[in-house]
Structure 1
């Protein structure tokens, strides 16, 4: 069993994040001491914590993370990853378009100076 500070160092998730994930039902401590309310995590929580950290790094919302964790088959994960991928492609296209607009605007300014 790991105290929250040890588990935080092990997983890279802050203590505040671990407390929040417990509050919203994403990652419950394996044990909470009844006297001092210290939170303890076990090895089984480790994989889940790493998964949550990865999902967050990929831009998943708390609600999306809950969907993934509620679906033990992880079919929901594949669908959400495909949706994220499509969204990122759209954002890249939009940014490239804006970049082209900026370049054109800069170029038109240069032509006027000549």
Structure 2
């Protein structure tokens, strides 16, 4: 069993994030000491914490992360990841278009001033 501070260091998730994930029932401690309310995580929680960290890094919302965790078999995880990948690709395409529009706008202003 690992105390929150140890588990935070192991997983890269802040203590505040771990508290929040427990609050929204995303990643609950394996054990809570009733005497001092210290929370402890076990080795099984490690995989889930790493997965949650990755999902957050991939831009998953808390609700999307909850959906993944509710599917304990992780059967749909690949589909969700591929959908997220496609959304990111669309965002990149949209951002590139915005950059081009900005460049065109700046260029049109330069031409008028010359």
TM-score (norm 2): 0.93
Alignment of 1:73-84 (within 5 A): 73-84=73-84
Task: Show CA shifts across 1:16-63 (max 9, x none).
Answer: 111111111111111100100100111111111100111011111111
> How far apart in 1 are the matches of 2:75 and 2:55?
15
SS across alignment from 1:40: strand
> How far apart in 2 are the matches of 1:93 and 1:69?
30
Please list every run of 5 or more consecutive structure 1 residues that lacks an aligned counterpart in the other structure: none
Moved over 3 A (4+): none
> How far apart in 1 are the matches of 2:29 and 2:72?
19
> How far apart in 2 are the matches of 1:90 and 1:77?
20
> How far apart in 1 are the matches of 2:63 and 2:76?
12
Instruction: Compute the RMSD of aligned alpha carbons.
Output: 1.1
1:46 and 2:46 matched = yes
> How far apart in 2 are the matches of 1:50 and 1:26?
13
SS across alignment from 2:76: helix
Name 2:103's counterpart in structure 1: 103
> How far apart in 1 are the matches of 2:111 and 2:39?
66
Name 1:24's counterpart in structure 2: 24
The count of residues paired between Structure 1 and Structure 2 equals 114
Name 1:92's counterpart in structure 2: 92
